[in-house]
Amino acid sequence: MSVRVRRVYESPEPEDGVRVLVDRLWPRGLTKDAARVDEWPKAMTPSTELRRWYHAGEGSYEEFAGRYEAELAAPEAAELLDHMRELARKGPLTLLTAAKAPEESHAAVLARLLD
């Protein structure tokens, strides 16, 4: 399986394969045409509460990752995660995020779970 994480603001590349936006909110200043997003599974994104907690600097990345994985166990999120695994088995999958540090974001947690 080939799963990678990229910032949504980077230009699409042919090797991206299926491009999935994994943020709950649409990225500022980016048109849908420019983003070239194939899927946007909002139910698989961190909850608003978890996102606010993490961005407020109240916990470590490791704690955030654990809480996020617990959220992904919910039925709808788990179903979407299985769908992403299926997409990754079929070809390249690129998880897109607006996070400034994708390596310490929910997208990195998803990539680890999908690989």
For residue 93, what pLDDT is reported?
A: 97
Q: At 78, list the tokens.
A: 């788990």
Q: Is 4:96 a contact under the CB 8 Å cutoff?
A: no
How would you class 114 by CB atoms within 10 Å of its CB: exposed for 0-12, middle for 13-18, buried for 19 or more? middle
Q: At 66, list the tokens.
A: 């654990």
C-alpha 88/C-alpha 3 separation (Å) is 6
Tally Cβ neighbours within 10 Å of residue 52. Answer: 11
- pLDDT surpasses 70 at 2: yes
- pLDDT surpasses 70 at 74: yes
| pTM for the predicted model, two decimal places | 0.93
- Alpha helices (runs of H) in the chain, residue ranges in sequence order: 32-35, 48-55, 61-71, 75-90, 106-114
Give the pLDDT band (50/70/90) at residue 58.
confident
| Structure-model confidence comparison of residues 53 and 1, the more confident one | 53
C-alpha 37/C-alpha 33 separation (Å) is 8
Averaged pLDDT for residues 75-103: 95
Averaged pLDDT for residues 68-72: 96
Residue in the block written with tokens 């079929």: 90
For residue 1, what pLDDT is reported?
A: 62
C-alpha 89/C-alpha 4 separation (Å) is 13
Residue in the block written with tokens 């420019």: 34
- pLDDT surpasses 80 at 53: yes
